[in-house]
Amino acid sequence: MWCTVLTLLALTSPLCVKDDGPPEFCHELDCPRYTVKDSTLGPDVELRSYEAGVWVSTNVKGVHYDKAVGTGFMRLFAYISGANEDMKKIPMTAPVRVELTPGEGPFCEDHFKVSFFVPFNMQESGPPAPVDSTLFVDPAPAADYYVLSYPGRTNEKEIIDQATRLVQSLDDQMLPYDFSSFFAAGYDSPFRIFNRHNEVWVAAGAAAAGAKQQP
């Protein structure tokens, strides 16, 4: 399902604390910092400028989204629980971010990169090295993303639907973007029932750098 839908989209067409303080959906956890450059792009859509930041990531392929996220999450959770060279417990952060890259061709194998954001007090010095060889420290440069936010519980179909909605909106407005891959970001534990917050991020094209800064 991923391959067919995402390949068609590609053919037809990651820090979260705002500059004025952490957004409520971070639930007082460390989140990557961003500035809103444009909030007039449509319902629930913003153009955000994210600061450079460090993540710890793992790659998973050959499985569906839910299994990929479960596998990646458990590897990362073991890492922050002490499975690192310093045997140090590391605070949980938000969001759990998943980069989705569709495979090529009709029988393609999708690729997922699952990431935890590194806490602020380790951003400059760097986090302890993972002992699991499937994990790696993953610096991300500053970048602009179109971000669509939506509530409730999410799944593979919902993420595809929301990414499609975002890309169609960008196409309608003739805004430049890169859809070679995109991100899904979740901010809530499975036990949170109400006020859940999810996002999809699509990288902005170069022309978007001239978008207006929000006061």
Q: Domains (ranges, CATH) in the chain?
A: 2-210 (3.20.80.10)
Work out the pLDDT band at 212, boundaries 50, 70, 90: very low
| Residue 139 half-sphere exposure toward CB, CA atoms < 13 A | 8
pLDDT at 2: 41
**Is pLDDT of 38 > 80?**
yes
pLDDT value of position 106: 53
Interatomic CA distance for residues 210 and 215, integer angstroms: 15
For range 27-55, the mean pLDDT: 96
Check whether 42 has a pLDDT greater than 60.
yes
- Residue-wise pLDDT for 147-199, tens only, equals 999 999 999 899 999 999 999 999 999 999 999 999 999 999 888 888 899 99
Each residue's pLDDT tens digit, 101-154? 877 655 556 799 999 999 999 999 999 999 999 999 999 999 999 999 999 999
Helix (H, G, I), strand (E, B), or coil: what is residue 103? Answer: coil
Q: Which of 9, 201, 184 is nearest to 113 (CA)?
A: 184
The pLDDT-based confidence of 55 (bands split at 50, 70, 90) is: very high
Give the separation between CA 139 and CA 95, rounded to whole angstroms.
16
pLDDT at 12 (0 to 100): 36
